[in-house]
Amino acid sequence: MLVLGLDTSSPAVSAALVDLDSGRSVAESVVVDGRRHGELLAVGVRAVLAGTGRGELRAVVVGLGPGPFTGLRVGLVTAAALADALDLPVYGVCSLDAMVPEELADPAPGVTVVADARRREVYWASYALGRCVEGPAVGRSGELADHLRSLTPPPVLVGAGALLYREAFGGLSVLDEPQHPRANRLVRLAAERIRSGEASDPLTPLYLRRPDAAPPGVPKRVTA
């Protein structure tokens, strides 16, 4: 059973083709460039699907974020368009879920995934016993660090945001990898829904804050 996975919630533009029967990644494309999501995702999808027949795909999985508005919507729109064109179910997964190291998913002290949200803020979520127990949320790195230090025991941190603000997270354990979500991991997280034939998800993006763009105000009068 071949499933296509996509994620554009971070600077890593990720596409993967996964065989759910074996759990193996058949092909994967990951390019880190936060300014070229639209350009790079199409190239990545074409690369991982090379040699795959139109009727071989069974589903599409996409990361819902959290992430910046422009990049995140590239993956969501692409996933929705592919699923519609090929008449496939499409499933969304919180992108932060895909960054929990599988070897740290269950035992204490738990894991907090920290992604760069720009503006000196981070997206984050905490996990224990293989489940999200807090978040996803967005906030200042220093405030998150104070919160995590208050926990007993404090969690292990992963993600590009934890590395970027390593000084703020002083005293906490920060792993060097993973830094960004991987599409093949998203597919595995959605595996049970795919196998059971659940209906498609609505693909609601996790922006967590309002976009910078705003409707224009009332035009000023230029006549007396």
Q: How far apart are CA 74 and CA 218, in angstroms?
A: 31
Identical fold for domains 2-96+180-196 and 102-164, yes or no, is: yes
Domain 2-96+180-196 has CATH 3.30.420.40: yes
Q: Are strands 57-63 and 2-7 parallel, antiparallel or unpaired?
A: parallel
Residue (of 39, 80, 82, 22) closest to 57 by Cα position: 82
- Give me the pLDDT at residue 101, please: 87
Domain ranges of the chain: 2-96+180-196, 102-164
Beta-carbon contacts of 101 under 8 Å, excluding residues fewer than 6 positions away, are 111, 158, 175, 178
Domain 102-164 has CATH 3.30.420: yes
List the helix and strand counts (H, then E) for the chain. Answer: 6, 9
Q: How far apart are CA 37 and CA 203, in angstroms?
A: 18
Q: Structure tokens of 33?
A: 């460039």
Q: Are strands 90-93 and 111-116 parallel, antiparallel or unpaired?
A: unpaired
Query: What are φ and ψ of residue 77, in 5° steps?
Result: -65, -40
Model confidence pLDDT, tens digit, residues 60-83: 999 999 999 989 999 999 999 999
Beta bridge partner(s), residue 131: 128
- Cβ(80)–Cβ(213) below 8 Å: no
Least confidently predicted of 108-112, 141-145, 182-186, 209-213: 209-213
Model confidence pLDDT, tens digit, residues 128-172: 987 999 999 999 999 999 999 999 889 999 999 999 999 999 999
CA distances for 217 relative to 88, 209, 221, 223, angstroms: 42, 21, 12, 18
Write down the pTM of the prediction.
Answer: 0.90
